[in-house]
Structure 1
């Protein structure tokens, strides 16, 4: 499902873009789920909800912080969000590339161009599904890229997913999460699961991930140490 947000400080501009999108979105598969009236509001919300949005239509000329500055701030904590600028002027296009913008649309938006952008985003998001972990909790739906997950740990009935920027939780068993994440994630303890690519050091008792020391259990030490050592040496046959 493609989840879309619009950021524009003009109500009429947001309404026009949403109406255009609703004409071409795939029913029950795609929707505009959030609208922001300022860049600051978009940055604040997106930082608290990583992975919940696939595509952001971002106005360039806004009061307060501009669309370009909004994108710069977003890129500090999210390199994966697809950003498409919406503008009345094409001159900024090179600035857009500096913040890894996917494309840009001129106002008023043309349905043909809008359809082209959606087609591209659908393909990119679909191709990346196998590289993502999607889950729900009380705060919403999250979609995290596997490469961004450092490790997971269980506490009572919850599993906590740790990235460099945030820790998120869901009701699940660690075994269930391990099966969804795949072979690159290694069980090092009854309560801990690590991304092999994120491991910095292994010793007899600990595994170090992003400077954090995690326990290595005696029962899993031989198997986990072997797999992690192969990963650290570049051997993908885990």
Structure 2
């Protein structure tokens, strides 16, 4: 299995180095990206990039609690571990659905428990590693609603009204994603049928969750209708 992608956000250099060492020597192979503040983490963060975040609570600038609150605005599922010297923020951890609350000094056992939890979470959700214009991206495909071609860029729309713009083309992306439930309904649109709520055959539209739409090219209408009916049938079988 690929290494877990871990983010460690800690503003004290010595404690950052100590915790990074525990992660690298942990029970699950992991690659660690280091951040010295909540601000620098938020600049680099995007859905699907990390499997687990270790977040110090007491930091200069944006606190760990506020950083996680901002993450949760667009990502309710990312496993996050609060690392702190007190349990003062246990209620915040509960409200923000933090996976674990680790008190300092951090032990190898506590880190290993967090790594095992992250591995289990990753196995439960699908992450697609794709290459676009020579750059690697980790896309949480179960949260990806649709991809739209705009010039030389792709606009990726996720649950939670989160959008990400990356350089690339649908002709690159489409072959790297599962053929089902992803559907190329237009030269400029790739839709995830798991997030489609209906089809308008007259206006040539797929209605998407959270109010979005994907256009259907007329030549693709028959294929799109068949794929949508297949999806509905697959859901009916699951409900039996």
* TM-score normalised by structure 2 residue count: 0.80
Match of 1:50 among 47, 50, 55: 47
Contact 1:158 1:173 in 2 (8 A): no
Aligned partner of 2:84 in structure 1 is 87
Give yes or no for contact 2:197–2:207 (8 Å, CA) kept in 1.
yes
1:12 match: 14
Residue 65 (structure 2) aligned to one of 60, 63, 68: 68
User: Shift in Å at residue 3 of structure 1?
Assistant: 1.0
Gaps in structure 2 of 5+ consecutive residues: none
- Preserved contact between residue 4 and residue 56 of structure 1 (Cα < 8 Å): yes
Question: Structure 1 residues 212 and 103, CA, compared in 2 at 3 Å: closer, same or farther?
Answer: closer
Mapped partners of 1:25, 1:170: distance in 2: 36
1:149 pairs with 2:144: yes
Report the CA distance between 1:137 and its aligned residue.
4.1
* Alignment RMSD (CA, Å): 3.0
Secondary structure of residue in 1 paired with 2:80 = strand
Contact map agreement 1:199 1:232 (CA 8 A) in 2: no
* Cα drift, residue 156 of structure 1: 8.2
Q: Which residue number corresponds to residue 220 of structure 1?
A: 220
Aligned-partner Cα distance in 2 for 1:161–1:67: 27
Aligned-residue offset at 1:119: 1.8
Structure 2 equivalent of residue 202 of structure 1: 199
After superposing the two structures, state which structure 1 stretch, 197-206 or 74-83, moved more. Answer: 197-206
Distance 1:14 1:201, change over 3 A: same
DSSP-derived class of the 1:24 partner: coil
SS of the residue 2:39 aligns to: helix
> Residue in 1 aligned with 2:106?
109
Q: Which range is displaced more, 158-167 or 170-179?
A: 170-179
Q: What CA deviation, in whole Å up to 9, does each residue of 1:160-191 have, x standing for no partner?
A: 54333223446566386256224122232244
In the alignment, the residues of structure 1 paired with residue 76 and residue 47 of structure 2 have an alpha-carbon distance, to the nearest angstrom, of 10
